[in-house]
Structure 1
Amino acid sequence: MASQASRTVVYAALAGNLAIAATKFVAAWFTGSSAMLSEAIHSLVDTSNQGLLLIGFRRAARPPTADHPFGHGMEIYFWGFVVALLVFSLGGALSIYEGIRRLSEHEPMTGAWVNFAVLGAALIIESLSLRVAWRELRAQQPEGSWLSAVRGSKDPGIFAIFCEDAAALGGLSIALIGVSLAYFLDMPIFDAIASIAIGVLLVFVAAFLARETLSLMTGESASVEVLADVRAVLNSDSRVVSVDEILSMHLGPEEILVAIAIDFRDEMTSVEIEAAALELGEMLKRKQPAIARVYMRPLRHRDAMGATEPVPEAGSA
């Protein structure tokens, strides 16, 4: 299920991109700028992407069913992947096509002041949207570079919007340079080149987003920090001899499943082992609230060589 923070980021980006897209299309029609048309397409695609993420949030929030006993939280990753494909196909590919088509045209740009005004306003709006996304991303990942923060985030409602806004600022900067060169040097080819460069930037961002969301779709593990906390809690309990294995998977941005193979003290009875498993599961959830389900598989040592055999499993839902 999506957090309120990720919804806030998406709504902020949606409002900004919707206004910017309409303004850019008017400016592109008035001036005939290829770079401005590419930016208009980019903003329209971003607006559609935010709508898709909102659909994903709603569908991911559905309760568990017999067919989906762990819920539908992972569906948000599917919609994040669709967003990446749209950025690639509609944003990047169309911008490159438009730029190549305009390379052979040499019509001078008219009303360049409109482009400059729209690009300046768009830079301000996109900067504000990026600031919202960056603040929420940093709240999740307070340390490290922006790249490590994006890779560490499991919420496409935040990291996808951050990447989109960053790409939007990059595209606007490219468009501003291309329009300026085309107008002041009276060389329209720079406008077409800027459109191609914007498309290449979007293709690169789309490939990066697709890679990140695909990893989550295929069962990405919890972060190193979460797993370290899990192991620390278990190892600090006097009833635990050793933790043989910890497996984890994200069922959603804030839902983690943890499966543990654990060796309790041999003198403990089955009732005591079951009680310990339930208690440790609750301790893990308090330590890391994102942990939604904990399953433990107790093991018992058979000899001094370390061979083990399973005993009846105990779980904490």
Structure 2
Amino acid sequence: MKITALLHKHVLIGGGSGFIGRNLSKLLKSKNYEVTVVSRMPGTNRITWLDIQSKGIPEKITSVVNLAGQNVLDPKRRWTPGFKQNVWNSRVNSTRILAEEIIKSKRNLDAFINISGVSLYKPSSSKTYNENHLGESFDFMSKLCIEWEKAATIPENENCRSIKLRTGVVLGPGGGMIESIWMPFVFGLGGPMGNGDQYLPWIHMDDLCNLILYCIENKNVKGILNGVAPQIVTNGEFSKIFASCLKRPALIPFPEFAVKLIFGKDRSALLLTGAKIEPKLTIESGFKYGFPIVKGACEDIIKKVRGK
């Protein structure tokens, strides 16, 4: 597939200071891209959401990536109506702002890439989903994903490719799920969430960042792609593999009632349920995974955390 050759490459990243944004910025800069982050506070190579609304997409920008979103699984935050609204607004409203400003700009942009989730695929023990499944609204998280993608929609005749990446759990050092489970597993106290039978759609951080770069640079890539690894595993299978790579047991499950007590009904669904998802169109687009198997992903992450 032909790679776009750009003399000037400058990516605007909404939510670029988060877990994925930090890693993506590092990759882009290593490939000679300039990066500007949209955040709540101004600073060097930063602009605010208010700047975007009042001044539009800066002239120098060639692609836009949106990663913005309040951390849903922050155990320190109670699932209050206010926090629930923040989770919604930080995804849907920020996405809508970028989409509307891209449409207003009337300039040629290479790509608008919006990261959303896989919660719109209803958990099923028999069905395997790919990008051709539209998804359905069956709980708060699925409704959020659907509205999130609607907000990212720009007309097909706009001078900008639109890519919607539905990502699973992002595995990498320094944040996300690995940071949350690291200490219990290191001390031999780790195990699956609930009974562990639920599927765990996942992707290595390096693969997600490289997939975003691939979408920016390949003119033929557009539409919906599943940002998940090819290997389908359950939460229990992942727990055993991760523990094995640490040379630890995985004997102590985190009880379902405790998950629900800490996170509440809406959020606990992210941990206690999951769908079988394959990246059919992602693979067909020509993208090559660096970490298609969870064992290799875990080994790489553990090595990076330990600095070896």
TM-score (norm 2): 0.26
The alignment's TM-score, normalised by the length of structure 1, stands at: 0.25
Which has more radius of gyration? 1
